[in-house]
Amino acid sequence: MNVRLRNPDRRIEVPGPLSVAALLARLDVNPEGVLVIRGDSLATKDEVLADTDDVEIRPVISGGAR
């Protein structure tokens, strides 16, 4: 699958199928700090990603009102 990671922005190829949880573990990414997007929708940790999927791993950024 084609995986786009942010901060820093880079793309890598990862063989699938893999669950979202397994993909994040393989990439040593903390699942609590990211959103995983397949196509136009969020993917949950138990979803299986296909070898042909385009996936984006985006960091979660939070802030508050002043």
Single-letter amino acid, residue 58: R
What pLDDT sits at residue 7? 82
DSSP string, 1-57: -EEEETTTTEEEE--S-EEHHHHHHHTT--GGGEEEEETTEE--TTPEEPTT-EEEE
* pTM flag (> 0.85): yes
In angstroms, rounded to a whole number, what is the distance separating the alpha carbons of residues 18 and 64?
A: 35
> Domain limits of the chain?
2-59
pLDDT tens by residue, the chain, 66 residues: 999 998 889 999 999 999 999 999 999 999 999 999 999 999 999 999 999 999 999 998 876 666
What pLDDT sits at residue 50? 96
Per CATH, domain 2-59 is 3.30.565.10: no
What pLDDT sits at residue 64? 63
